[in-house]
Amino acid sequence: MKLYPAYLDRAAQEALLEQIRAIVEEAPLFTPCMPRSGKAFSVRMSNCGPLGWVSDIGGYRYQPYHPATQRPWPPIPPLLLQFWQDLSGCDAEPEACLINYYGPDAKMGLHVDSDEEDFSAPIFSLSLGDDARFRLGGTTRKDPTNSFKLSSGDILLLDGKDRKAYHGIDRIYPGTSNLLKAPGRINLTMRRVKPIKG
Ligand code: SIN
Ligand code: FE2
């Protein structure tokens, strides 16, 4: 993995947040649920890009439209695509940017990002708002894990052996940032979904 602490300064964070607000107006946050059990996630989600990640009773998948509005996802902001170009080491563009919204009590269990068809590109993750405790393990559930804090403006790349590593969010530290209007955190995760040609 590669961690770029405070890659975005406050002005860049505010500019990006404005763009994410506009996206979420067009493609409202929805509450995903676990396949089969139907148990609701504590994180709310939306997406931008040609494809978006969704989870419902039918399973996990990428699809080109919002599950409630049925409309195509808004495009990924050029600023984000620029960061991907500068840091990912991947010439192809990401097709999906998942927007995770964590309220003060939200968390995300350990999982592997494995619904993509291409694993050569890294998972690119950018944090806005309150600090979070990120947990990173190995490629099996039994492997030992480490945890560290992610703060507003940090960028994390899961690449190489960590591309398929278990990871999750233990907790949010409410009130550690004043970027958002209320306690909480936004995480933007860009992924390459389709195989890269050539
Ligand atoms: C994710 O794994 O989709 C989100 C990780 C994070 O919120 O930092
Ligand atoms: Fe993930």
What is the percent of the chain with per-residue pLDDT over 70, rounded to a whole number? Answer: 99
Closest among 188, 150, 146 to 167, alpha carbons compared: 146
Mean pLDDT to the nearest integer, 70-86: 98
State pTM to two decimals.
Answer: 0.98
Q: What is the pLDDT of residue 60?
A: 96
Give the pLDDT band of residue 197 (cuts 50, 70, 90). confident
Q: Is the pLDDT of residue 134 over 80?
A: yes
97 with 80: CB under 8 angstroms? yes
What is the percent of the chain with per-residue pLDDT over 90, rounded to a whole number? Answer: 98
Q: What is the pLDDT of residue 56?
A: 95
CB of 55 sitting under 6 A from ligand 1: no
Residue nearest to atom 6 of ligand 1 (CA): 187
Angstrom CA distances, 185 to 47, 122, 182, 193, stand at: 15, 22, 9, 25
**Digit-coded pLDDT (tens) for 94-109:** 999 999 999 999 999 9
Q: What is the pLDDT of residue 198?
A: 66
Closest atom of ligand 1 to CA, residue 185? 7
CB of 152 sitting under 6 A from ligand 1: no
- Angular region, 74: left φ>0, alpha ψ -120 to 50, beta rest: beta
Domain boundaries, the chain: 2-186
What CATH code would you report for 2-186? 2.60.120.590
